[in-house]
Amino acid sequence: MKGATLAILNEKESPPGGWRWRHPGSGKQFTAGSFVVLEASAQRTLLNLGKDPSLASAQIHETTAASLIRQGRADLVEVTKEVPRSVEQYATGAKAAFLKWWRESPVYGLIKGKASRGESVFVDQAAGDHRSGICARCPHNVIPAGKGWLQNWTDGQMLKSVEGRKTVNHEKLGVCEVCSCELRAAVWWTPDIIAATTRDAKFARKLPGHCWKREIIQSPTSEWRSR
């Protein structure tokens, strides 16, 4: 059926096997018991990849529905008609979602608070260059394909957060496939801000051993704390 899509009948309950979403870049599948939690995570990732965050909901429904059908639970799935959005709706929705996420993020609050107290929120050029070199060589550094309007706009917003700073590896940095950070901005933030972007030490273990972010989070007395 043209324009049709699959959806789960009850969005408020966790289906057998949980809610599922597939990363559009790596193809890795993520699961969660709560639709709201998985949708928020998927939206952040889509934004960092330069894609429309509002696609997250439909993608989660489609991926979860396919899993349920394979489990023989097609009774929990329905076919719905997709309603296309206008270019204006797409642009407005994507920008609004990004700004809402950014302003509600712990990073934004921490940066704003430190700046109001006259405290530095950025590491120096040498530290930024050192970090960027590690990220540039990392296999989890993903450069989003294409440079559409949303990617350009998002890039501008993130660079604005670090006041236009650039490392020697600026053009080689993209998005971290593991933590979804915009690396061109993340390499400049001080350790306390970096720590605020990661949920806990358990999650930090998902980061590769050579990652400077992992070292900051797991080793409070490490030399990285001063970089």
Are residues 219 and 109 located together in one domain of the fold? yes
- Judge whether 96 lies within some domain: no
- Judge whether 95 lies within some domain: no
Q: Residue 223's pLDDT is what?
A: 45
Average pLDDT over residues 205-222: 80
Are residues 120 and 8 located together in one domain of the fold? no
Q: Residue 88's pLDDT is what?
A: 61
Residue predicted with more confidence, 140 or 200: 140
- Dihedrals phi, psi of 66, to nearest 5 degrees: -60, -40
Are residues 132 and 24 located together in one domain of the fold? no
Q: What is the 3-state secondary structure (H, E, C) of the chain?
A: CCCEEEEECCCCCCCCCCEEEECCCCCCEEEECCHHHHHHHHHHHHHHCCCCCCHHHHHHHHHHHHHHHHCCCHHHEEEEECCCCCHHHHHHHHHHHHHHHHHHCHHHHHHHHHHHCCCCCECCHHHHHHHHHHHHHCCCEECCCCCCHHHHHHHHHHHHHCCCCCCCCHHHCCEECCCCCEHHHHCCECHHHHHHCCCCHHHHCCCCCCCHHHHHHHCCCCHHHHC
Average pLDDT over residues 121-137: 95
Average pLDDT over residues 203-217: 86
- Judge whether 125 lies within some domain: yes
Are residues 44 and 146 located together in one domain of the fold? no
Q: Considering only 11-25, 105-119, 176-190, 212-226, which range has the smallest mean pLDDT?
A: 212-226
- Domain hosting residue 75, numbered range: 4-81
Are residues 75 and 109 located together in one domain of the fold? no
- Judge whether 88 lies within some domain: no
- As for how many domains the chain has, the answer is 2
Are residues 72 and 124 located together in one domain of the fold? no
- Judge whether 89 lies within some domain: no
Are residues 14 and 56 located together in one domain of the fold? yes
Are residues 59 and 117 located together in one domain of the fold? no
Q: What share of the chain in percent tops pLDDT 70?
A: 74
Last residue of a domain, one of 33, 66, 81: 81
Are residues 65 and 121 located together in one domain of the fold? no
Question: What average pLDDT is seen over the chain?
Answer: 80
- Judge whether 34 lies within some domain: yes
Are residues 15 and 110 located together in one domain of the fold? no
- Judge whether 18 lies within some domain: yes
- Judge whether 135 lies within some domain: yes
Are residues 59 and 146 located together in one domain of the fold? no
Are residues 124 and 66 located together in one domain of the fold? no
